[in-house]
Amino acid sequence: MKLVTAIIQPEKLDEVREALIAAEITRITVSRVTGHGRQEGESIYRGQKVVPNLIPKVRLDIACNDEYVDITVKTIIKTAKTGKIGDGKIFITPLERCIRIRTEETGGQAI
């Protein structure tokens, strides 16, 4: 199991979600977050390092079985990418355990 975490532009949320559902990725957590990536251009002003502004982004968390990781990543890239800076990022981390509270099923069954 993996946890696919994507940070995307808020205006891409609906399009990304629609495409994920069309690809049968139907379970998702969406959070409104802020952040900044690497600094574009000059980050020194009058000899001081400038602290970048926090920019609103949307965070998607999708826990899935290993065989769904590629389609999840591909779908997010296809819909969230504009080619401009700030398109976002995808992080993939191993997921150790998952438990469905209602049934107490665990692992891939519970996802």
Ligand X SMILES: Nc1ncnc2c1ncn2[C@@H]1O[C@H](COP(=O)(O)OP(=O)(O)OP(=O)(O)O)[C@@H](O)[C@H]1O
Contact residues: ligand X, CB under 6 A? 7, 35-38, 55, 57, 85-89
Write the DSSP assignment of the chain as a string of letters: -EEEEEEE-GGGHHHHHHHHHHTT----EEEEEEE--SPPS--EETTEEPPPPPEEEEEEEEEE-GGGHHHHHHHHHHHH--SSTT-EEEEEEE----B-TTT--BGGGT-
Cβ proximity to Mg ion: between 74 and 89 the closer is: 89
For the CB of residue 95, give the shortest distance to ligand X in the complex, in Å: 18
Choose the contact partner of 101 out of Mg ion, ligand X, none; CB within 5 to 8 A by kind.
none
Cβ proximity to ligand X: between 38 and 97 the closer is: 38
